[in-house]
Amino acid sequence: MNNQSRGKLLALIRCCLCIGGSFGIVSNCMGIFFSPISQDLQVGIGSVSVMVTFMGLSGAFFAPLFGKLTQTKPLNLLMSAGVILTIAAAFFVSAATAVWQLCLGGVLIGIGIQCFAAIPVTMVLRDWYREKNGGVIGIAMGLSGVAGMIMNPIFSRLITMFGWRTTYRILALILAALILPCTLTMKMNPEPKAAAAEQGGTAGGSTVVPQAMKLTLFAAVIFISMLVSMNPHLSAYAIDRGYTLENSAMVLSAAMLANVSFKLLHGFLADHMDPIVSTMLMALTGCAGTIILLLFAGNRVLMLGGAFLYGAYFTVTTVGLTQLTQIVAKDQYTSVYSVVIMLNSIFYALSVSLNGILYDMTGAYRIVLLMIIAYAVLALVLMTRIRAKSAGTDRV
């Protein structure tokens, strides 16, 4: 194995672990702590879950700043600082005695995981895999679902044995043992890029991205971000339709399995066909799943099948957004993608809350599912527009 191949493999392994740590362990396992924290502090679960809102919003608004920092600071040091901040914040949360302390910890965790999550990981993978990177991005993003599926039951068992505070410290130690070594040794591709590719075919430097293209992308991001907003409500929807708690957990598991499967498939398709078309196919698959959930939820098999197909939306909000940003932004990827991440985080958080409000108002999730179908249609229209505009730009 030559140095270039070895560097590619090590970069992929490190990036997979970073995504597994940031999204898989920290974010996807957050919910398992809600109930024990609620009981310990003697507050409602809703009060505890506000921590996640603060985590999401702080990470969203920090994303553009992080994008700018990567232009002047070593990426491995920025990523390592984020891991250290997340570890310190986790220890702080483990000692919390009030909700405001949880919220402050959530703010720090949100900022910390942004430093070793999607923005730096896609930067590294795009640098090492310059021609076709959809597959490796799909593999890395898929690890978030795998890590979540593995660690949730482990943390649940640890909470039963040692309590949530000790378990949260164990979570921090896992980050220190597995993720910090990856970020400290993270390296960019030492081989210089071809001048034409780096300069976007211009003689004077970076490509100027048309403002209309960026605005179309940002509009698409808003609708794409809201596609997965039903995920936190899937178990509640199944119970609302008459399923047991055990069966409702299976519905959520079907969506989580799809989270991994479709990211891998999407990454492969993005490398072997038009990336925008592959993203549109995933959006159409998720839309089909939403329609099944809306119309055939009374049938258990169709309910599980609909949840699985709905899970295709997860890859649209991860692999799909990286592919769309690469096409629109070209060599301005980092600055544009940081805004994409910000919009995605903000509108996802808002739409999850909106779904709960609509359910409380109507007593059902029908209007929510109809809205998600509408989001998908609008996102598909905007992606078609991006594809047409990018084709026109290439001809010029």
- pLDDT (average), residues 347-361: 83
pTM of the model: 0.81
Question: Which residues contact residue 58 at a Cβ distance below 8 angstroms, ignoring those fewer than 6 apart?
Answer: 106, 107, 108, 110, 111
Domains and CATH numbers, the chain: 3-187 (1.20.1250.20), 208-395 (1.20.1250.20)
Q: Decide which of 46 and 42 is more confident.
A: 42
Percentage of the chain modeled with pLDDT above 90: 43
CA separation, residue 390 to residues 130, 301, 384, 386 (Å): 19, 41, 10, 6
d(CA 19, CA 120): 10
Please write the tens of the pLDDT for every residue from 262-321.
988 998 898 888 889 999 999 999 999 999 999 998 888 999 999 999 989 999 998 899
- Residue 197, pLDDT > 50, answer no
Q: Are 387 and 276 in contact (CB under 8 A)?
A: yes
- pLDDT (average), residues 171-198: 83
C-alpha dihedral sign at 259, 225, 107, 329: positive
Residue 195 — pLDDT band, cuts 50, 70, 90?
very low
Tokens of 17: 């672990």
Maximum mean pLDDT: which of 1-5, 146-150, 237-241, 334-338: 334-338
Q: What angle do CA 252, 254, 255 make, to 5 degrees?
A: 65
d(CA 113, CA 116): 5
29-34-37-43 Cα dihedral, nearest 10 degrees: 160
**pLDDT for the residue 202:** 40
